[in-house]
Structure 1
Amino acid sequence: MPSMRCMDPILFIDGDQGTTGLDLQRRLLGQPFRVRTLPPEQRKDPDARRDALNGCDIAVLCLPDAAAREAVAWVDNPAVRVLDASSAHRTAPGWVYGLPELDTRQPACIAAATRVSNPGCYPTAAVALLRPLRDAGLLPADLPLAIHAVSGYSGQGRAGVERFEGGEAAATALQVYGLGLEHKHVPEIQHHASLAERPVFVPAYGNYRQGIVLTIALHLRLLAPGSTAARLHDCLAAHYAGSEFIELQAAGAPGELDPQALNGTNRMRLTVAGNDRTGQVVLCAVLDNLGKGAAGAAVQNLALMARHVETGRVPGPAG
């Protein structure tokens, strides 16, 4: 059983060869962690995986949902903490949602938790835009919402990268998908944005590697009385004041949004574009789907979780 010690925590990455796993290893270079992975011949060996999962300080799961659930069930060492980058546990009881900027209490909750679920790329943007407005009473819980987003093709995972970069889909400029309106990120968005109504979510893949632009259109007359674009902007500005990774673009309509503007970073840029004459507003977010939307967020959460390892304290129960 690994002890809680004042040396660099041991991380085991299960699923280290996927898109998120590979990017996570790159982002962890120079970070105060000892990273362990399995050799190729043992990656699908249940016994080797089980031993590695129970022989680390923090297990990071970069796996499909079913495999992530299986891995969690194999962890029987109470000292091992889990950060799950899949969507398997993002609304599950006993798991802390790994969006530190959700509210002022969330960093401490993540730091103390034994089970943390890394947010999805699209939900990171949608929740960051909607939750502060819900908490401030500006956005009704039952307001019907339509959310549109375009991601780089790396959002499809390793298979999608190989398909585009191998030439199979290179001629496709844009692919709209999820038209069955059952995208797996919708329950996560609804739950963590505190929405009573299920939003319509229309995602798409563009012919570029990474980066997301997500937009949510609103009619001001349907929001709380006295709502204006400036008031929505000020609400988001107050919520994210002092944030290291989330920035708010200056008030006023931007000329355009580049989904690749923050690639390679763990930052996210929010914008409130409004038109006083029409009484309409568009909430916008730009982020790297491999950064703040995946591996970058995982590094941010690991830094919080490591505090309890480094101070020698045994992790408390999940929040």
Structure 2
Amino acid sequence: MKHKVYIDGQAGTTGLQLRQKLQNHKDVEILLISEELRKDEAERKRLMNEAEVVFLCLPDDAAREAVKLVENPNTCIIDASTAHRTDPDWVYGFPELSPLHKEKIRHAKRIANPGCHATGFIAAVYPLIRLGIIGTDYPLTAHSLTGYSGGGKAMIAEYEAENRSPLFDSPRQYGLGQQHKHLPEMQYVTGIDTPPVFCPIVVDYYSGMATCIPLIASLFKKKVTKDELLALLTEYYKDAKLISVGTEETNFLASNPLSDTNELKLYVEGNDERMTLISVFDNLGKGASGAAVENMNLVLGLDETTGLL
């Protein structure tokens, strides 16, 4: 018998991606709501409480309200919004960070799906803290390139408009006020003392992401060379099925080669004095719907990569 799942907000970018992935998933049945009842609270509530797993693909306030509709104690909610990512009553859905993270997800009824930029940052920084290479007081910075699908339907429409502004032809930095919605999550999950100086950049391609964290070796708590750092991170993620570690030999690194996948590759670049860690992945895959399916698989007792490779 297939596991029943429901997507609340299935018309949005993440919701559509989730539905596409789950339609090809051999172990689940998607509970569908008719278009005319899509905003009917009673029908939504009925379907949520019938499902084993509910995905929330909604704005933050709507996600908080949707949680109140679930009364079935056996229903697991996976929230793709920002609403619960720093809530201690919710499990953070990044199983590769540690065996404890994975075990908590397996038994959770409330899971906060990571944000896309935050996924790239945390994948690089969390092991550095855990391995004692940098302290929580390290002055972190990051810049992160994303395809325009990360901005949702409105931004997709702007970029794909026939008579769009020529300014959209070049990369555009945004979040200039250092108040990006992923910053609290980056700080909360990694345990750093202050959020990083963060520079997100939207680029003229549909999907793909590259999050870069510069590092200065003289500020490390534990002195390591570039090759030693590569070896340590390779060992750290050796059991991860969707995360790999390596280097780029061409001296060029594109930000969208993992588009349309659910994988993440962490690159260790630079030299023994100045290094960069670069997380390359799909903002719609490991940065959104792919991560949600991975978390669902763990909750349902399936291999985490089912339907993702």
TM superposition score category, shorter chain reference: over 0.9
- Secondary structure of 2:127's aligned partner: helix
Structure 2 residue aligned with 1:274, among 247, 266, 270? 270
1:168 shift after superposition: 5.2
- Secondary structure of 1:217's aligned partner: strand
Structure 2 residue aligned with 1:146, among 134, 138, 141? 141
Structure 2 residue aligned with 1:72, among 67, 84, 97? 67
1:167 shift after superposition: 3.2
Structure 2 residue aligned with 1:40, among 30, 35, 39? 35
Q: Which fold has the larger relative contact order, with Cα–Cα distance below 8 Å and residues 6 or more apart in sequence?
A: 1
- Between stretches 100-109 and 124-133, larger displacement belongs to 100-109
CA distance in 2, matches of 1:115, 1:72: 9
Is 1:257 aligned to 2:253, yes or no?
A: yes
Question: Gaps spanning 5+ residues in structure 2: where?
Answer: 303-309
Is 1:126 aligned to 2:127, yes or no?
A: no
Structure 2 residue aligned with 1:211, among 208, 211, 215? 208
TM-score normalised by the chain length of structure 2: 0.93
1:19 shift after superposition: 0.5
**1:311 match:** none
CA contact (8 A) 2:134 2:220 kept: yes
Question: Which aligned pairs between 1:55-66 and structure 2 lie closer than 5 A?
Answer: 55-66=50-61
CA contact (8 A) 2:145 2:203 kept: yes
Question: Gaps spanning 5+ residues in structure 1: where?
Answer: 1-6, 309-319
CA distance in 2, matches of 1:125, 1:65: 21
CA distance in 1, matches of 2:102, 2:250: 31
1:109 shift after superposition: 1.1
Q: Show CA shifts across 1:220-265 (max 9, x none).
A: 0001242222222122111111321001114x76511111101111
CA contact (8 A) 1:133 1:235 kept: no
Percent identical: 39
TM-score normalised by the chain length of structure 1: 0.90
CA contact (8 A) 2:146 2:208 kept: yes
What do you get for the CA RMSD once the two structures are aligned? 1.5
Where in structure 1 do 4 or more consecutive aligned residues deviate above 6 Å?
A: none
Query: Partner amino acid for 1:272?
Result: V
- Secondary structure of 2:218's aligned partner: helix
Closer/same/farther in 2, CA of residues 253 and 227 from structure 1, 3 Å limit: farther
**1:115 match:** 110
CA contact (8 A) 1:98 1:119 kept: yes
- Secondary structure of 2:301's aligned partner: helix
CA contact (8 A) 2:132 2:222 kept: no
